Amino acid sequence: MDASAARQCVLIINDVPMELRYLRRVLSPLYDVKLALSGEIGLELALDQTVDLILLDVVMSGMSGFDVLSRLKESAHTRNIPVIFITGSDSSDDEVKGLTLGAVDYIRKPFVETVINLRVGIHLQLINQMRIIEQFSLTDGLTGVNNRRSFDQQLSAEWLKATRSQSNLGMLLLDIDKFKQFNDKFGHLNGDTCLKTVAQVMKDSVIRRTDAVFRWGGEEFAILLPNTCTGGTVFVAERIRKNIASTPISCGDETAWITASFGAGSIFPEKSDNSESSIADFCNRVDQALYRAKANGRNRVEVIAD
């Protein structure tokens, strides 16, 4: 679904039930509203859910709003979520502190419904515009699938999710076999057609909304398969491999056929093993499996070594 068309999610963190109910009534006609009665619960929801905007009370028992915002900024998954502070104070020092920590705006008590709707609506509109711009920067211009920059970002995010939920994360790397020879024979324009065709086959071959296709670089592509064990990654790889091999490539008056080699792997990230080096090692192992597939005859799937 297009980002601008999706029902956006607003998380409200406030330890006063009456204020939570009021804000939910005001915002729920337009947005998916989630409620948290404490900073701790709010942090958990922000990490586990897809949240577009947070309304955060400054003064709460337990963690203050300032503490919660500081924690939000520590996590790559939550640091870019815009936060609007809710406050009953007129202190300019508090306002300066909140903006310095990274808040984007303030809503003051007593609440005014029109002001709430306008401030929330403006910031969510800005989010949509930023996402549209970002989408262009994360998309491969030739094939229309996600690019390498997008892969790096999403892999980090999915690794974190797998760590928190203690689930498997599957990954595929594929390389079009003898692509240089294809270009030499049919020309680079038809080579572009080949890349676009393979990308479309991959998109058509993944079923779940959570699975994502990326152009890794050149004639290499990648797929991330959240919550997928080794058997599942191999199953998806074999389906794509067969679909690529059976799809004709139109090259003017000629029809060409190509194959692809695959490296497949799945990992169960440990909570204590969340470093960039661990992610890089996993990618390297899948890449090595891909090279074994090419060395062992191409048009095949090889799995990472234990």
Give the active site residues: 219
* Nearest-angstrom CA–CA distance, 301 and 285: 14
Q: For residue 172, which phi and psi values (nearest 5 degrees)?
A: -125, 140
The strand pairing partners of 226, in sequence order, are 169
Q: Give the residue from 299, 263, 296 showing the smallest Cα distance to 282.
A: 263
Parallel, antiparallel, or unpaired: how do β-strands 169-176 and 105-108 relate?
Answer: unpaired
* Nearest-angstrom CA–CA distance, 159 and 168: 9
* Nearest-angstrom CA–CA distance, 107 and 115: 8
- Secondary structure letter of residue 111 according to DSSP: P
Under a CB-based contact definition with an 8 Å cutoff, are residues 194 and 178 in contact?
Answer: no
Parallel, antiparallel, or unpaired: how do β-strands 212-217 and 220-226 relate?
Answer: antiparallel
Q: For residue 35, which phi and psi values (nearest 5 degrees)?
A: -120, 145
In the chain, the amino acid numbered 96 is V
